[in-house]
Amino acid sequence: MKPKIVVFTGAGISAESGIKTFRDSGGLWENYQIEQVATPEGWARNPKLVLDFYNQRRIQANNAEPNKGHLALVTLEEKYDVHIITQNVDNLHERAGSSKITHLHGELTKSRSSLEPSLIYDVRGNFLNMGDLCELGSQLRPHIVWFGEAVPEMSRAIDIMQNVDVFIVIGTSMQVYPAASLMDYVSNNTAIYVIDPDAPRVRTNNIEYITEKASLGVPKMVAQLLKKV
């Protein structure tokens, strides 16, 4: 059986693909107030603004390409059972070729019913518009976990955290919960790597910090891990 690796990624892994991270944008997110575009209250107040915002994010993500960080993780699968748990809503891990991916905060390429959350659809192309309806006749919303909403994929992510040999954290400030609490499910004998130029000091023991950008740090770490087995 291959050793098990869980890779927990955040906005930093996609930064070099041209997608801005959240916490270095000074309270604004691509010039929008986060409360207006990424909360249920914002959606209730002005759904068109929210759809326009995510249409722009979708255009940006669809035009971006996976970088060396995303690509290096794919080669890890040669020798490891690799599970990616990402906070990112882009699909750059999928497009790089990783096979097991859990999106904690939703996916830009999907929409869902604003009435019945289990009704989830693919967004064809870049745009989700006012008047695009689910089969029950209600407006479709972006399939994104907004601030203040539950994180339905969290229980699946916690299951994945069982019996992990290596836990790798890439490009996340570890400030958003419950996602950041995945770290609490790592056992004492799990090796931990953190790759981030401005690495959050999440714990003191057992961690190897690689304070580099993902495009450099991830291939280095992957080469190291591939040599071990």
Can you point out the beta strands (E) in the chain? 4-9, 28-29, 32-33, 81-86, 101-103, 106-113, 120-122, 140-144, 166-170, 191-195, 207-210
Nearest residue (CB) to ligand APR, 121 versus 209: 209
Nearest residue (CB) to ligand APR, 78 versus 198: 198
Give bridge partners of residue 121 from the DSSP assignment.
111
Give the interface segment with ligand APR, choosing from 18-26, 51-59, 113-121, 161-169 (CB under 6 A).
Answer: 18-26
Spatial separation of the C-alpha atoms in residues 204 and 48, rounded to whole Å: 45
Q: Does 47 bind ligand APR (CB under 6 A)?
A: no
- State which of residues 105, 110, 112, 143 lies at the interface with ligand APR (CB under 6 A): 105
Q: Does 62 bind ligand APR (CB under 6 A)?
A: no
Terminal Cα-to-Cα distance of the chain (whole angstroms): 12
Q: How would DSSP label each residue in 20-49? A: PPSTTSTTEETTEEHHHHSSHHHHHH-HHH
- State which of residues 108, 213, 221, 225 lies at the interface with ligand APR (CB under 6 A): 213
Where in the sequence numbering do the catalytic residues fall? 105
- State which of residues 3, 21, 158, 209 lies at the interface with ligand APR (CB under 6 A): 21
DSSP state for residue 6 in the 8-state scheme? E
The residues of the shown chain that bind ligand APR, judged by CB under 6 A, are 10-12, 15-16, 21-23, 87, 105, 171-173, 175-176, 196-198, 200, 213-214
